[in-house]
Structure 1
Amino acid sequence: MTLPSAHDVALSAERRSAARLLLAHPLVTSDGPHADLFPLVRRHADWLGKRFQQVLGYRLLVDSSYARLFKAGLGAGSGHQFVRSTGTPFSPHTYACLALALSVLVTAPEQMLLSQLVADVRAAAADADVELEETGRAAGKRTLVAALRQLVEWGVLVETHGHVGAITAEGGGEALITVDRELARVVVAGPLAQSRDGADLVRRAADPSFGGPRTYVRRMLVETPVVHLDELTDPERDWLRTRQRREAQAFVELLGLETEIRAEGVALVDPEEELTDLRFPGTGTVAQAALLLVERLVERLRPPDPGHPATGGFLVVGVAVPDGLVDEVLAELVAEYGERSNWQRGYLEDPHALREAALDLLARMRLLAPAGPQRAEGEGLPEAYAEELPEGRQVTNVGEARPRGGNWVLLAAAARYATRVTMPTTSSIRKDAHTQQELPL
């Protein structure tokens, strides 16, 4: 066997670094936060463009001052939220402001006053018959500022004199901003011209076209924490089962990701812990509560071994969470950790908000899922059913039913965050948290 030369090794490392950068940051500019790696993207633009197209069906556009990887998305309900500097997710009004601002900026002058941009956004909203939160009020001003700050982060707007936050100044504020019209034009990745509305845009963007199941499954592997075989359509599942080990090498070469294969599904693991916008375990009240919640749910609901006769010989991919158990466990956690761990006062006073935030995080990590079908056959769209799911029932198909009460299924991957208890030869017992893999995945 011929070993690769030092040149080949260096070349592969450069291409992999550039690919990882684009996957994590689909819009990279020559003078932005990742300017040091931008020359790598330009140097390997042709190779990167071909590989992203072949593997994921993503289009890459590289210009002298920017590179844009046009990701396709996975369909409705699978997007990643934008958040404000405070960590608060964008509201529908914030997204509306962002879209309206982009519609104005593609034809804006190179430089303009902030007050003129605000006036143009209001006019665009009126023309589109979009009702915005009143931009003259404090809440409306903060919403618009959040959208404009996102554009500053992307490099679409440059704060030449002053800051976009001047909108919120008492009595009004002013700033001079520079507009990059070209960047404004390439921010939206989906096919705007062919789409009837927002839902149609999301659907069309996620369409793998000629790539079919192959391309869609690869996108799921790269863009989500774990892919369960159960959530795939039959053609997608068949393709993954027959190709998963050959695909592992492709992901190592392109992105440096290691493939972890289990009976229930597949996950791509990043040894460098860079390619994620969602860290778990993490810091903060919600992340801490979610980690403790999933740990205790696994302790209480862990099923017998998959081969145990009680499972009927089926592969157990999850366990139905009984009504009220999440609230019960969270109440215990708040009492036990809330004050001494200095959890946010707002969450301590509003258990419902803590519950929703923790469940949302665990669902995005694919550790919990609403009981019911996740996608319609051949589409990236969620469906809902009204069939009841018995409490505590083991689930051999996550898509079996969606109970009226909005019950949840604790998925197999959650077991890696359970407490592990080892019994050494001595009488002492050591608890090693968050590393056990009792369920198969």
Structure 2
Amino acid sequence: MSGLTEALAASRADESRRAARALLRRPLLRQTDDDFVLVRRHAPALREWFERNTGWHLLVDSEMARLAKTVAGAGDATRPARDVKSKQAFGRRRYVLVCLALAALSRAEAQITLGRLAEQVVLGAADPRLSAAGVGFELEGRDERADMVAVVRLLMDIGVLGRVAGDEDSFVKDTGDVLYDVRRRVLGALLTAPRGPSTIEATDFGERLAALTRELPPTTDDLRNQRIRHHLTRRLLEDPVLYYAELDEVERTYLTGQRAAITARITELTGLVAEVRAEGIAMVDPYDDLTDVRMPESGTEGHATLLVAEHLAGAADREVPVEEIHELLRRKAVEHKNYWRRDVADPGAERALAATALTRLLALRLISRTGNVVVARPALSRYRVAEPTIQETA
């Protein structure tokens, strides 16, 4: 019986770990998603863990599971929304279209066509405040239609819209339309801010964003320690690396005393393994499915990124101009011409390749960049190539 009990306990722990990882990977799950049943089964324990350790709320009902994650800081620009098909990062106009589309959907019927949604977005974009900010959208031409389709595909991926009939490519070509179901339950659960945007009086964007994400200040020592624990656990779960230098003195002191307990709790819940170095902590995923940016990765861009990382790791004691990266990739494009895509040898192609590589390294918190100067961060040292050691044989 003891063996059976242990086996059942291990099975429950594995299920709970899979459910937690599913929520971290995709904070909004619908009932049709693979791991939804596991999340519902382990909802009480997961809800208690996230509330106690991160301050994130978990809502689970018969239609969906929503982990209301809030970021540790609003200044990270390395995780943009991306086109579901092309993976191209959203620009300013597409972000505005997302907000206008959500506003239109909140007033829509149970079903809506892409053309009708686009008309509502055009009306919203006519707001003089948007025009004054330099944002315009009139649904003229293929580019604007493609922007609208990219927004709709993002909303479909999230689960706000469900395609009933039609094809988005026909809308881009102006030869057809698409019909969608509007999933109001999902739509209503998207916003995870501590307060509603309509309650904020500030007009400056930075001030509005700060007010939207501001949490009530702690009033006791226990609440202050809880806030620090939430902040540190969020960063260890969300950021590739947590550097001690980025923490204030109170946070560093707390982490020094509680590091083993915090990382052990994360490991027990998620299976992530703590890699502790002198400069900071990284929670490493042995299953490699909790990250949206991988390093290394196959393909021309992946190989180029690895070569740039190696070069910067070897120059960790100095600032590296971006032009030096361009020159490096020009040479490597010739050196690896039999393996890389042919177009990377074209004049100027090294700039796009360098931009992709540096964006990935920034997202992984392996480098910092100021203007046209790049500096290696401590975690990049793992990509430093050491001189080989030859052992003498007896």
1:90 aligns to what? 90
Query: Does the CA contact (< 8 Å) of 2:113 and 2:178 recur in 1?
Result: yes
Q: Hey, what's the Cα distance between the residues in 2 that align with 1:128 and 1:51?
A: 46
Matches within 5 A, 1:288-299: 288-299=303-314
2:333 and 2:340 in contact (8 A); partners too: no
Query: Which one of the candidate residues 275, 289, 297 is aligned to 1:274?
Result: 289
CA distance in 2, matches of 1:36, 1:81: 25
Q: Deviations over 1:158-191 (max 9, x none)?
A: 1111023332123x42222211122112122223
Whole-angstrom CA distance in 2 between matches of 1:343 and 1:55: 49
Residue of 166, 172, 184 corresponding to 1:168:
172
Equivalent residue, structure 2, for 1:417: 383
Deviations, residues 214-265 of structure 1 (Å, cap 9, x unaligned): 2212111111111111111222222212211121210111111111111110
Cα separation, 1, equivalents of 2:52 and 2:343? 46
Which whole-Å deviations, capped at 9, do the CAs of 1:264-284 have from their partners, x for residues lacking one? 100001111111111111134
Equivalent residue, structure 2, for 1:327 = 326
Which stretch of structure 1 is more off in the superposition, 266-275 or 325-334?
Answer: 325-334
- Taking the TM superposition and a 5 Å limit, the aligned residue runs for 1:133-144 are 133-144=137-148
Q: Which residue is equivalent to 2:108?
A: 108
1:158 maps onto 2:162 in alignment? yes
Normalized per residue, the structure richer in helix is 2
| Cross-structure match for 1:199 | 206
Q: Structure 2 vs 1, CA of residues 354 and 120 (structure 1 numbering), >3 Å: closer, same or farther?
A: same
Counterpart mapping for 1:219-298 below 5 A: 219-298=234-313
Q: What is the identity, as a one-letter code, of the residue corresponding to 2:68?
A: F
Give the match for residue 63 of structure 1: 61
Query: Which segment is superposed worse, 209-218 or 17-26?
Result: 209-218
Q: TM-score normalized by structure 2?
A: 0.86
Match of 2:182 in 1: 179
Unaligned runs of 5+ in 1: 303-318, 372-404, 428-441
CA distance in 1, matches of 2:330, 2:253: 43
Q: Which of 233-242 and 268-277 deviates more?
A: 233-242
Q: Secondary structure, in 3 states, of the residue corresponding to 2:336?
A: helix
Report if aligned partners of 2:344, 2:350 keep a CA contact under 8 Å in 1: no
Q: CA deviation at 1:102?
A: 0.8
Question: By how many angstroms is 1:359 displaced?
Answer: 1.4
Distance 1:237 1:150, change over 3 A: same
Tell me whether 328-337 or 66-75 shows the greater mean CA deviation. Answer: 328-337
Percent identity over paired residues: 30
2:351 corresponding residue in structure 1: 352
TM-score, normalization by structure 1:
0.78
- C-alpha distance in 2 between matches for 1:56 and 1:65: 24
Structure 2 CA distance for partners of 1:193 and 1:239, relative to 1, 3 Å: farther
Partner of 1:45: 43
Residue aligned with 1:259, SS: strand
CA contact (8 A) 1:338 1:348 kept: no
SS at match of 1:136: coil
Distance of 2:209 and 2:300 partners within structure 1: 32
Are 2:209 and 1:216 aligned? no
Cα distance in structure 1, aligned partners of 2:346 and 2:254: 44
Q: How many residues align?
A: 372
Aligned to 1:313: none
With over 3 angstroms needed to count, the CA separation of the structure-2 counterparts of 1:68 and 1:30, relative to structure 1, is same
- Mean alpha-carbon deviation: is it higher for 73-82 or for 83-92? 73-82
What is the identity, as a one-letter code, of the residue corresponding to 2:188? R
Distance 2:189 2:157 in 1: 15
> How far is the alpha carbon of 1:291 from its aligned partner?
0.9
SS of the equivalent of 1:422 reads coil
Task: Report deviation, 1:326.
Answer: 2.7
Quote the offset at 1:12 in angstroms: 1.7
**Cα 1:355/1:36, change in 2 over 3 Å:** closer
Change (3 A) 1:325 1:113: closer
Residue type matched to 2:13 in 1?
S
Please name the residue that 1:126 is paired with. Answer: 126
Which whole-Å CA distance do the structure 2 matches of 1:365 and 1:220 have between them?
A: 13
| Structure 1 residues 346 and 29, CA gap change in structure 2 (3 angstroms) | farther
